[in-house]
Amino acid sequence: MSQIDRHPDELLPWYVNSTLETHERRQVEAHVARCERCRVEVESLKAAYDGVGRLLDAGAGPSLDEWDSHAELDRFWRQMDANSVKGGEEEQTPSPQAAEFADNPELRFPCVFILDTSGSMRGARIAALNERLQELKRDIGRNRLASRRTEVAIITFDDDARVAQSFVTVDGFRPPTLTAQGSTDLNGGIEKALDLLEKRTATYRKEGIQYFLPWVFLITDNEIQEGLESATRRILDMQARKRIVFYAAGVGDDADTERLSRMVVDPEHARSLQEFDLQDMFKWIASSITFISTSQKTLGGANSPSEQDGQIECMPADWGRRAGS
pLDDT at 86: 43
Q: Which of 8-22, 86-100, 109-123, 128-142 has the lowest mean pLDDT?
A: 86-100
Q: For residue 180, is pLDDT > 60?
A: yes
pLDDT at 53: 53
Domain ranges in the chain? 9-93, 99-322
Q: Which of 91-95, 149-153, 245-249 has the lowest mean pLDDT?
A: 91-95
Distance from C-alpha of 98 to C-alpha of 80, rounded to nearest angstrom: 28
Higher pLDDT, 230 or 295: 230
Confidence class for position 21, pLDDT limits 50, 70, 90: confident
Helix (H) or strand (E) holding 281: helix 277-293
Higher pLDDT, 265 or 277: 265
pLDDT at 57: 52
pLDDT digits (tens, 9 = 90+) for 48-76: 666 555 544 554 444 444 444 445 455 55
Distance from C-alpha of 128 to C-alpha of 120, rounded to nearest angstrom: 13
Please state the rounded mean pLDDT for residues 35-41.
Answer: 86
Counting other chains too, the contacts that 24-33 makes at CB distance below 8 Å and 24 or more residues apart are 27/1, 27/3, 28/4, 30/4, 31/4, 31/7
Q: Which fold has domain 99-322?
A: Rossmann fold (3.40.50)
